[in-house]
Structure 1
């Protein structure tokens, strides 16, 4: 199974939820903090033989996203940023904020109810998690099994 994750307000935020501990290297290079629990979640997903993609509408470069996760000791399989997303949906002549099926993504994790509505309308699965959801890890793990 391929699972994608949004970044902003889902896995990355400055003040909406607790963050993983940041080491000196990450602090020095200004690497963004990840939501507390992300490292363990990603390791568990990989242990279950699933692939992890990042699907964000931010303009962060693919290399900066890859480096951020690598600095936490975790890897992702594929990164879709706004540039890649726009290029793909233009070719398909569709107008969606996110469209996981074009990347063979089985389920997308996001914080946006708008993405959930698009999923219902266009036939893709989503898991919507709140910034205040303390049980977000279990919500994801229970849905991917």
Structure 2
């Protein structure tokens, strides 16, 4: 399966705050941002289960920047979809929907926004919503991905 992750307030703290991975010299050199604690474990577990990992963000961060950020933690997302690529791919529809994973063959999108879950219901795509204070978020995602895979 192809699984995508939102960045802001899902994997990168912003308005929502959560514990982050330890930062060493490489993380400080490659990025000013931190990633959510458990991200490394989750990404490695998903890769071990042969899932493909994408990042799907409505930010204008460059794909190169996002790759460097994750690379510094030993994580290698296969594709980075930012607002520029979203708009280019969806054209006029881009103004009507914040994210549309089916346009990129994504099976499940993971986000923090209840609004994205509503869009998923309305436009028939699968979402997993991560709560800011969910200390077991990694296990919850792995279980929901397994449930989704089994239901296919």
Same fold (TM over 0.5): yes
Question: Is contact 1:54-1:79 (8 Å) kept?
Answer: yes
Note the alpha carbon deviations across 1:80-129, whole angstroms, 9 max, x for none. Answer: 00000011111667721000001000000000000000000000000001
Three-state SS of the structure 2 residue aligned to 1:54 is strand
Corresponding residue number in structure 2 for 1:9: 9
Corresponding residue number in structure 2 for 1:24: 25
Corresponding residue number in structure 2 for 1:105: 106
What value does the CA root-mean-square deviation take over the aligned residues? Answer: 1.5
Aligned residue-pair number:
145
Of 73-82 and 90-99, more deviation after overlay is shown by: 90-99
TM norm structure 1: 0.94
Corresponding residue number in structure 2 for 1:81: 82
Corresponding residue number in structure 2 for 1:67: 68
C-alpha distance in 2 between matches for 1:25 and 1:124: 36
Shift of 1:29: 4.4
Three-state SS of the structure 1 residue aligned to 2:36 is coil
Residues 121-140 of structure 1 aligned to structure 2 (within 5 Å): 121-140=122-141
C-alpha distance in 2 between matches for 1:101 and 1:28: 35
Question: Is contact 1:89-1:95 (8 Å) kept?
Answer: no
Of 71-80 and 88-97, more deviation after overlay is shown by: 88-97
Shift of 1:25: 2.8
Shift of 1:144: 1.0
Corresponding residue number in structure 1 for 2:150: none
Question: Is contact 2:2-2:107 (8 Å) kept?
Answer: yes
Residues 42-53 of structure 1 aligned to structure 2 (within 5 Å): 42-53=43-54
Corresponding residue number in structure 2 for 1:58: 59
Corresponding residue number in structure 2 for 1:95: 96
Question: Is contact 1:4-1:109 (8 Å) kept?
Answer: yes
